Structure formats: structure tokens, C-alpha cells
Amino acid sequence: GSTYDIGFQFLKAALIRTSTMVEMNIYLKDQK
């Protein structure tokens, strides 16, 4: 149902945001 879709979208957004933060941290570490 729609509740499942909303939960899936939220989960996917959180996953993308987390992976982006990790990539940014790795990038900043490489800059030093």
C-alpha cells in the first residue's frame, strides 16, 4: 500500500544521504 511506498522512499533517501556523507568524509580526509 501507500504506507509501504512512503516508508521505502524514506529508507532510500536516508540511505542515499548516509552514503553521501560517508563519501564527503572520505573526500575531505583525502584533501589533507
- What is residue 32's DSSP assignment? -
- Geometric angle at alpha carbon 13, from 20 and 1, rounded to 5°: 160
Q: What is the dihedral of CA 3, 8, 18, 20, to 10 degrees?
A: -120
The predicted structure's pLDDT at residue 1: 72
Q: What is the total count of domains within the chain?
A: 1
- Place 25 in a pLDDT band, splitting at 50, 70 and 90: very high
Question: What pLDDT, on the 0 to 100 scale, is given for residue 24?
Answer: 94
Global pTM reads 0.59
In angstroms, how far is CA 15 from the centroid of its own chain?
Answer: 3
Could you tell me the residue range of the domain that residue 18 belongs to?
A: 1-32
Is pLDDT above 80 for 21? yes
